[in-house]
């Protein structure tokens, strides 16, 4: 019986594969259409030069070398037996097709790889790239998931943070990925300065309605030298309190389909040049506080999802 009040990724993986499974981050040099002038320059206002690859091995190493080093480390530290190759940084499906195919094939041929996860933008899902993933899935019998950065369903906020796409592109990308029978992981930031609790609940409803399988939540971090960092230092917005962030995560989980697996509730920022990150509190303490609040209120993921016919409660009880 799970003690968690939400659908934990670690428990999901053990249930699916029968053992501990860890993601191996692969950090490759790249860019995105919001950086190279195709849609804009500078990227999202919160994005730094590392493109989310700050907590990974140097991107000068090959795909295979990164996988092998990370695999050895996770085996020793966590006794993991199987692994998912995670192409983490930048927009992986914006690379030249031949390079993308070579990267995916190299990962698929490594030992003890059971899945491949590709991080990208919702407006960069070309059918030929999905063809590559389909071929690898068929040949190697691997599980494939595509991580799509949405950040928020509020299209005005998407414009404010210079995402370069709207909700419509996200909806289209999810539909096309699902047609290939790949899983989708949606990335969301619940404390963007221009969003409120209504947006948080709407995020949960959109994810649920689309049948998205995985979610990653990230609290906003602010890096020096970014557009957002400059705005923050000029006092153009305030970051909500830690207490409010916990309230938003609880509300999000309550309105979320209980079948959705939670890969992350709060993330980590880069070690250097960070002006604000997680209220100077470790991610583990934030997660512990979230667990405490949910336990104290006797609430759970999906409590307010589809409440009219009671499906959420029934599904939660069956899972527990």
Q: What are phi and psi of 183, to 5 degrees?
A: -80, 160
Q: What is the predicted pLDDT for the residue at 85?
A: 96
Q: What is the pLDDT of residues 142-192, one digit of tens each?
A: 999 999 999 999 999 999 998 889 999 999 999 999 999 999 999 999 999
Which ranges in 145-219 belong to alpha helices (H)?
155-160, 167-179, 197-209
Inter-residue contact 287 to 264 (CB < 8 Å): no
Q: How confident is the model at residue 29 (pLDDT cuts 50, 70, 90)?
A: confident
**CA–CA distance from 195 to each of 9, 67, 155, 218 (Å)?**
26, 37, 10, 14
Could you identify the residue written with the tokens 């659908």? 7
Residue 49 confidence class, pLDDT cut points 50, 70, 90: low
Q: Give the architecture-level CATH label for domain 9-319.
A: Alpha-Beta Barrel (3.20)
Q: How confident is the model at residue 40 (pLDDT cuts 50, 70, 90)?
A: low
Residue 309: per-residue pLDDT: 53
pLDDT value of residue 280:
93
Distance of CA 179 to the CA centre of its chain: 20
Going by C-beta distance under 8 Å and a sequence separation of 6 or more, which residues neighbour residue 13?
20, 21
Q: How confident is the model at residue 51 (pLDDT cuts 50, 70, 90)?
A: very low
pLDDT band at 102 (very low <50, low <70, confident <90, very high): very high
Nearest Cα neighbor of 6 from 312, 219, 273 is 312
Of the listed ranges 25-34, 115-124, 145-154, the least confidently predicted one is: 25-34
* pLDDT average, residue stretch 110-126: 94
* 127: its two tokens: 């059918």
Residue 32 has pLDDT above 90, yes or no: no
What's this model's pTM, rounded to 2 decimal places? 0.90
pLDDT surpassing 80 at residue 218: yes
The answer, yes or no, to whether residue 310 has pLDDT greater than 60, is no
State percent of the chain over pLDDT 70: 90
What pLDDT is stored for residue 55 in this prediction? 61
Question: What pLDDT score does 41 carry?
Answer: 65
Residue 48 pLDDT exceeds 90:
no
The answer to whether residue 232 scores a pLDDT higher than 90 is yes
């Amino acid at each position: 019986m799970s003690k968690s009040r939400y659908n934990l990724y670690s428990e999901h993986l053990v249930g699916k594969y029968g053992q501990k499974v860890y993601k191996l981050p692969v950090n490759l040099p790249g860019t995105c259409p919001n950086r190279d002038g195709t849609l804009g320059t500078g990227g999202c206002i919160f994005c730094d030069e590392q493109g989310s690859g700050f907590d990974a091995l140097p991107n000068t190493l090959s795909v295979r070398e990164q996988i092998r080093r990370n695999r050895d480390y996770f085996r020793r530290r966590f006794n993991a037996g199987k692994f998912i190759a995670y192409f983490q940084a930048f927009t992986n499906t914006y690379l030249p097709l031949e390079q993308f195919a070579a990267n995916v094939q190299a990962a698929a041929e490594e030992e003890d790889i059971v899945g491949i996860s590709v991080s990208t933008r919702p407006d960069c899902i070309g059918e030929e790239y999905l063809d590559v993933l389909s071929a690898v899935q068929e040949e190697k019998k691997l599980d494939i998931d595509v991580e799509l950065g949405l950040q928020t369903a509020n299209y005005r906020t998407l414009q404010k943070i210079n995402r370069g796409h709207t909700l419509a592109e996200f909806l289209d990308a999810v539909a096309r990925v699902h047609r290939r029978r790949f899983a989708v992981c949606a990335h969301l930031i619940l404390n963007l300065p221009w969003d409120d609790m209504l947006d948080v609940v709407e995020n949960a409803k959109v994810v649920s309605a689309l049948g998205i399988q995985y979610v990653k939540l990230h609290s906003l971090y602010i890096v020096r030298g970014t557009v957002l960092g400059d705005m923050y230092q000029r006092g153009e917005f305030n970051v909500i309190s830690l207490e409010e962030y916990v309230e938003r995560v609880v509300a999000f989980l309550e309105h979320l389909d209980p079948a959705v697996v939670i890969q992350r509730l709060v993330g980590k920022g880069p070690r250097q040049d960070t002006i604000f990150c997680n209220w100077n509190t470790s991610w583990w303490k934030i997660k512990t506080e979230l667990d405490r609040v949910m336990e104290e209120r006797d609430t759970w993921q999906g409590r307010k999802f589809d409440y009219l016919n009671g499906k959420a409660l029934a599904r939660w009880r069956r899972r527990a």
